């Protein structure tokens, strides 16, 4: 059970907008630590999607965006495409945990 809570699954039709939440607490997101997002396509290694709350690495489409407020963060995907079907993970730092780095439990995105 991670200290960062994500919904197990979300779904949307092509072209739609979906959001994935990442809920933390006062020892991680609420303490001001950055939130990062990763995409794991089936059978492949994770890939950095959003870093430091709302920054996209080079090559990531602007259909992907991140936000953070209070003890939560969100990943939004607009213009949903079939190739977006993947597992998505948030990651942050928690001052109460050994080592501090923590991933959310992951969210499976299904494109209908």
Partner 1 sequence: EVQLVESGGGLVQPGRSLRVSCRVSGVSFADYVMNWVRQAPGKGLEWVGCIRSKAYGGTTEYAASVKGRFTISRDDSKSIAYLQVNSLKTEDTAVYYCSRGRIRDGYCSYMDLWGKGTTVTVSS
Per CB under 8 A, the list member of 28, 104, 109, 111 interacting with partner 1 is 104
Pick 12 or 105: Cβ nearer partner 1? 105
Alpha helices in 44-109 (DSSP H): none
Rounded Cα–Cα distance for residues 96 and 66 (Å): 24
Per CB under 8 A, the list member of 11, 14, 16, 57 interacting with partner 1 is 57
Rounded Cα–Cα distance for residues 81 and 23 (Å): 25
Pick 13 or 44: Cβ nearer partner 1? 44
DSSP 71: T
Rounded Cα–Cα distance for residues 22 and 30 (Å): 12
List residues binding partner 1 (CB under 8 A): 2, 34, 36, 38, 40, 44-48, 51-52, 57, 87, 89, 91, 93, 97-106
């Amino acid at each position: 059970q991670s200290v960062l809570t994500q919904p197990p699954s979300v779904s949307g039709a092509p072209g739609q907008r979906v959001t994935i939440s990442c809920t933390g607490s006062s020892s991680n997101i609420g303490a001001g630590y950055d939130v990062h997002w990763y995409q794991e396509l089936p059978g492949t290694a994770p890939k950095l999607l959003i870093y430091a709350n709302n920054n996209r690495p080079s090559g990531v489409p602007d259909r992907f965006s991140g936000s953070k407020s209070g003890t939560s963060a969100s990943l939004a995907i607009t213009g949903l495409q079939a190739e977006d079907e993947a597992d998505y993970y948030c990651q942050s730092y928690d001052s109460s945990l050994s080592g501090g780095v923590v991933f959310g439990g992951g969210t499976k995105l299904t494109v209908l």
